Amino acid sequence: MKFEYLLFNLIVIVGPVVLQFNREIKHISQWRVKLLTNGIVMMPYIIWDVLVTGSHWQFNKAYTLDFRLLGLPIEEWLFFITVPFGCLLVWETLPDARLSTQLRPLRHVRTVLYATLPIGIWVFSTGRQYTGLVLCCFGLVGLADTLLRTNLLLRPKTYLYLAIVAGLILVFNGYLTARPVVLYGEAYQSDYRILTIPVEDFGYGFTLMLFNAMLYEKQVAYERLRCKIEGGSAWKISV
């Protein structure tokens, strides 16, 4: 079915959209901030996607609509909104008690991530370009967490979130690669797979969701501060 990837996006987003009207979710949900976050973070990933489609991967015309924007099916553009939007809903509804506490030993995680940046550049130069780019993204995640002072990598909540994201990748990417909606150029990756999913897809997904969570946290913190200044009282989250 040529509309299958489109249907995939609709199935992914319907649950999060409906939950925005749930009483327990509505009072904390910042759907406008989520969409803004998704739109900002998707830009470098779209550029990446446009540059490598046809080499690192390509989209099966049997499962995608014929319309293309910058060489990408419209469904791929929607992917960068629907999936991160749903994942941010998971992020904001995870319990903050104790999970929000920063643990000093976790600071070593960022040190390890810094090292993946030069390693990624070297791997990219060997021809495993998808692998190298993913490693570079991990390095940039570490730098962004430090520079933005979000300190997500110091919070146990983040690792619970990544465990959930890993499960979602197994389901969603497992579907996209098993059909296959997405076809890969194996020369550009390590060729290690978990089921039908290239291991690089997990890194791609982790970094995409971490960048979204970091920017979302930063924007929510800014909104809280702005409303305190303008209203002179504690900020109440609302839609």
In this structure, how many other beta carbons lie within 10 angstroms of the beta carbon of residue 67?
9
Compute and round to an integer the Cα radius of gyration of the chain: 19
Read off the pLDDT of each residue in 154-162 and give the average, rounded to a whole number. 92
Percent of the chain with pLDDT over 90: 64
The answer to whether the beta carbons of residues 132 and 125 sit under 8 Å apart is yes
The answer to whether the beta carbons of residues 198 and 188 sit under 8 Å apart is no
- Most confident among 28-42, 80-94, 129-143, 216-230 (mean pLDDT): 129-143
d(CA 73, CA 5): 9
What are the tens digits of pLDDT across the range 90-127?
898 887 655 556 677 777 899 999 999 999 999 999 99
Q: Which 3 state secondary structure label does DSSP give 209? A: helix
Read off the pLDDT of each residue in 15-40 and give the average, rounded to a whole number. 75
In this structure, how many other beta carbons lie within 10 angstroms of the beta carbon of residue 192?
10
147 pLDDT exceeds 80? yes
Confidence band for 235, pLDDT divided at 50, 70 and 90: very low
Query: Where are the chain's structural domains?
Result: 4-228
- Could you tell me which residue, 177 or 100, shows the higher pLDDT? 177
* Residue burial 105-134, b: 16+ Cβ < 10 Å; e: rest: ebeebbeebbebbeebeebbeeebbbbbbb
**pTM > 0.85: yes or no:** yes
d(CA 173, CA 166): 10
- The pLDDT mean for the chain works out to 87
pLDDT value, residue 17? 75
d(CA 197, CA 38): 24
CA neighbours closer than 13 Å in the CB half-sphere of residue 7: 9
Confidence band for 159, pLDDT divided at 50, 70 and 90: very high
Percent of the chain with pLDDT over 70: 86
